[in-house]
Amino acid sequence: MKPANAAAKWARALFVIGMVGILSGCAALQPSGNSVTGSVSYRERIALSPDNTFLVVRLLDVSRADAPSVEIAALRQPVSNPPMVFVLPYDADDIDPRMTYVIEAKIVNADGDLLFRNDQAYPVLTRDAPSDVDILVRKIARTQGNGSSKGNASAIDNHVAAIEARLPDMRVIPGQYSASDHTVTYNAYISPKGEPVLVDEHRDLGDYGTSDVKLYYRNGQLLRFAEDAKRVNYGGSNDDQPLQYTLKLDFAQGRFAS
């Protein structure tokens, strides 16, 4: 065998071996069996180190609004540049088509301190929900000295997600009332136990703007007060520029979770 021909054959052999490795790697990235897929992004222009920062994704059963969520499956992987792709396998035997499931995503450091998390529900799998979701996580701004989040924000967010996911099954009582110089229309969502779980209000403040308020409850106690408002004439002058703001207050056992 001539040296040139031998070199060419070795080159072709190495190329084939390399292609097999690449194709095998690509196959390994494809979801197999039952899995929830998706991506996680954040809007802040900051870089996170994959050496000490991790993406945690959990599949939760949030069917019971009056009880803690139940973890069905979870994964933890080093962060990458957003959007961060994930494939979360789960056991099909753990999924009941009558129940409600959501995906929770958060970013933590090596000590487990919470840095980012989603603040809205992402239903999956049942009740016509998808199995692929794109999740936006938001930076946790309020921290203690050790970097962990104050209060019990994660648990409250899970309870709120459970309430939102079950709203189609709730009994709705509409209503309206007047208070001083404004009118309020609302929908009260009632659990099968007859307890209010959400009061969704629209407040018409007349010349002073509008306000949309959501009051979440758990076991009859206030869990979260959320307001999205557009106010005008708040300074007593018709020339004031509109003021838009969003307010969220979380409570623990009916008291403000500071």
Tens digit of each residue's pLDDT (9 = 90 or more) over 199-230: 988 888 777 778 888 998 887 788 888 888 87
* Highest mean pLDDT out of 42-51, 151-160, 183-192: 42-51
The token pair at 203 is: 């407040």
Closest Cα partner for 130 from 239, 9, 36, 48? 36
| Residue with the larger pLDDT of the pair 36 and 33 | 36
Provide the pLDDT for residue 166. 73
Taking residues 68-81, what's their average pLDDT?
Answer: 90
Looking at the chain, the whole-number percentage of residues with pLDDT higher than 70 is 73
The identity of residue 21, as a single letter, is G
Q: Which residues of the chain does CATH 2.60.40.2990 include?
A: 35-139
10 has a pLDDT exceeding 60: no
Confidence of residue 168 (pLDDT cuts 50, 70, 90): low
Q: What dotted CATH number matches 35-139?
A: 2.60.40.2990
Distance CA 223, CA 216 (A): 5
96 has a pLDDT exceeding 80: yes
16 has a pLDDT exceeding 50: no
Q: List own/partner pairs for 41-44 with CB under 8 A and 24 or more apart.
A: 41/82, 41/83, 41/84, 41/134, 41/135, 41/136, 41/137, 42/82, 42/107, 42/116, 42/136, 42/137, 42/138, 42/139, 43/136, 43/138, 44/139
| Residue listed under structure tokens 């307010």 | 247
Q: What is the end-to-end Cα distance of the chain in Å, rounded?
A: 80
Taking residues 179-191, what's their average pLDDT?
Answer: 81
113 has a pLDDT exceeding 50: yes
Distance CA 46, CA 26 (A): 29
27 has a pLDDT exceeding 60: no
* Segment among 49-58, 98-107, 220-229 with least mean pLDDT: 220-229
* Highest mean pLDDT out of 14-18, 50-54, 61-65, 199-203: 50-54
82 has a pLDDT exceeding 50: yes
**pTM score, two decimals?**
0.53
